[in-house]
Amino acid sequence: MTSISLFKLILAVFIFSTFTCSPQQPPIDKKQMAAEVRAEFLHSWNAYKRYAWGADGLRPISRTPYQWYKAPLHMTALDAMDTMILMGLKEEADSVREFIVANVSFDHDIYVENFEITIRLLGGLISSYQMTGDKRLLNLAEDLGTRMLPAFNTPTGIPYVDVNLRTGEIRNPRTNPGKVGSLLIEFGALSKLTGRKEFYDIPKRAVVEVYNRRSAIGLVGTWMDANTGEWLDPDSHLSAGIDSYYEYLIKCAILFDDRDFQRMWDSSIVAIKTYLADETASGLWFGHADMNTGKRTKTWFGALDAFFPGTLVLAGDIETAARLQESCLTMWNRYGIEPEQIDYVKMEVPPEPKWERYFLNPEIMESTYYLYQATGNPRYLEMGKIFLDSLKRYCRLDEGYSELKSVVTKERSDRMESYFLSETLKYLYLLYAPQETLDFKNVIFNTEAHPIRKTW
Ligand code: DMJ
């Protein structure tokens, strides 16, 4: 071999190793990864069962239960049931189902948060009903939906935040597009499955009322008053308070073939790309802007914003999704696990302790799963492994998993939310599970990772 061809060979090897994902890593063994995630699910679920059975959630450090309200709603069991079914934990899922049917009642004199109960409980009941055909779950879902519908009895049709499950009284008109706009997958599916039209029409009207109040440049703000429909905070972004409003626009368009939602998505994505997208030295991000002027207000992005690549995949924009996912990975790698918010220009968490937290959030895993489904690119299998390894390293305990008070110091926080079992581990599992585990193309996940099948 001449020295020139040797040089060319070395160059070729260098280029190959630079531009493939992780040349030193052996290819990901999907079967082994799926088994690992399943084992972590059981590790967490068994901890919940041991220390918090019957409660809404587990505090994994003190090994104590916690309740959201004064009456138990069995949130963790309801939220986690369809993950068990998908993981093939049939006996466990069956016994949880019997427990739920025997013990869950929504006839309580308590104010509950309409959004959280809809995405976790209503969504969980409907998807588990579809997976098992157990009509008793649909009956529970219909009862719950009926009890929550009074939340929409407001001057604007935009629901209040809280509704009393027994009396139907409502309170707390200070709401946001996320809370209002992320109800129709669940209520709409309930409408189709029960034949009750009001379950579709009433939550749909609420979304349209929010959309109609978008600014002249097409953006929505963060907080609004459900009585007057006035904006209380003009901050526009993809983060908490707005995130799943956009997610549900495209998802409802697909799940219900509803053209109004397609139109609302089509105009919203133009505004998002015009005013929120931010090309920086570190890649493509979506930051904050004033909803009226479009002026950039913050160069922040965070754990919750990481849902957006998944949503872009559904909308058919794989290229932007893939670029944003790389930024999400950069955010994750900055501290070895993602913070609640990061300033993507300084590449630091904003200087307030609350932005350093990590709540075991699933959005980055969700987008990884969507991108893998859309592209088949093994890079996403590798990303999933990075996320799982970090979770195990920083959040795993002898019993369950904990949130982090700070991704900088890795100090822990004593809580394991139900969505860790419902979403975070489900998306990681599905990333590696055999394709036949779930018919990805024919389901729409609600924002709590409950897959809803179009049977109508
Ligand atoms: C979940 O309840 C849902 O994903 C919701 O859309 C946002 N918050 C948590 C997870 O981060």
Query: What's the rounded mean pLDDT across residues 430-434?
Result: 99
CA distance 220 to 234: 7
Closest CA to 388 of 24, 20, 23, 29: 29
Q: What whole-number percentage of the chain has pLDDT above 70?
A: 95
Q: Is the CB–ligand 1 distance for residue 367 below 6 Å?
A: no
Q: Do 156 and 214 lie in a common domain?
A: yes
Is pLDDT at 18 greater than 60 in this prediction? Answer: no
Computed over every residue of the chain, the mean pLDDT equals 95
Q: How far is the CA of 419 from the centre of ligand 1 (A)?
A: 7
Amino acid, res. 45: W
Is pLDDT at 70 greater than 80 in this prediction? Answer: yes
For residue 86, what pLDDT is reported? 98
Is pLDDT at 23 greater than 80 in this prediction? Answer: no
Banded pLDDT at 1 (limits 50, 70, 90): very low
Is pLDDT at 283 greater than 50 in this prediction? Answer: yes
113 is catalytic: no
HSE, CB side, 13 Å, CA atoms: give it for residue 70.
Answer: 6
Structure confidence by residue, pLDDT tens digits, 126-178: 999 999 999 999 999 999 999 999 999 999 999 999 999 999 999 999 999 99
Q: Is the CB–ligand 1 distance for residue 361 below 6 Å?
A: yes
Q: Is the CB–ligand 1 distance for residue 302 below 6 Å?
A: no
Q: Do 111 and 251 lie in a common domain?
A: yes
Domain closes at, from 280, 298, 316: 298
For residue 5, what pLDDT is reported? 46
352 is catalytic: no
For residue 24, what pLDDT is reported? 66
Domain closes at, from 298, 323, 339: 298
Q: How far is the CA of 31 from the centre of ligand 1 (A)?
A: 27
Query: What's the rounded mean pLDDT across residues 26-54?
Result: 97
Closest CA to 220 of 343, 228, 230: 230
436 is catalytic: no
Domain closes at, from 265, 281, 298: 298
Tokens at residue 293, please? 């002027």
Q: How far is the CA of 2 from the centre of ligand 1 (A)?
A: 60
For ligand 1, mutation pick of 120, 364, 419 (most atoms within 8 Å of CB): 419
Structure confidence by residue, pLDDT tens digits, 399-424: 999 999 999 999 999 999 999 999 99
For residue 25, what pLDDT is reported? 74
CA distance 353 to 357: 7
Alpha helices in 53-134 (DSSP H): 75-86, 90-103, 114-117, 123-132
Closest ligand 1 atom, residue 303 Cα: 11
Q: Do 315 and 258 lie in a common domain?
A: no
Q: Do 338 and 204 lie in a common domain?
A: no
Q: How far is the CA of 338 from the centre of ligand 1 (A)?
A: 15
Banded pLDDT at 22 (limits 50, 70, 90): low
Is pLDDT at 8 greater than 70 in this prediction? Answer: no
Is pLDDT at 249 greater than 50 in this prediction? Answer: yes
User: Has residue 5 been placed in a domain?
Assistant: no
Structure confidence by residue, pLDDT tens digits, 83-116: 999 999 999 999 999 999 999 999 999 999 999 9
Q: Do 193 and 338 lie in a common domain?
A: no
CA distance 410 to 412: 6
Counting the structural domains of the chain, the total is: 2
116 is catalytic: yes
Q: What is the DSSP string of 12-73?
A: HHHHHHHHSS-TTSPPP-HHHHHHHHHHHHHHHHHHHHHHHTTSSEEETTTTEEE-SSSS--
Q: Do 235 and 288 lie in a common domain?
A: yes
Is pLDDT at 368 greater than 80 in this prediction? Answer: yes
Query: What's the rounded mean pLDDT across residues 362-389?
Result: 98
CATH of the domain at 111: 1.50.10.10
Is pLDDT at 16 greater than 90 in this prediction? Answer: no
For residue 26, what pLDDT is reported? 85
Which range of residues forms the domain containing residue 211? Answer: 68-298
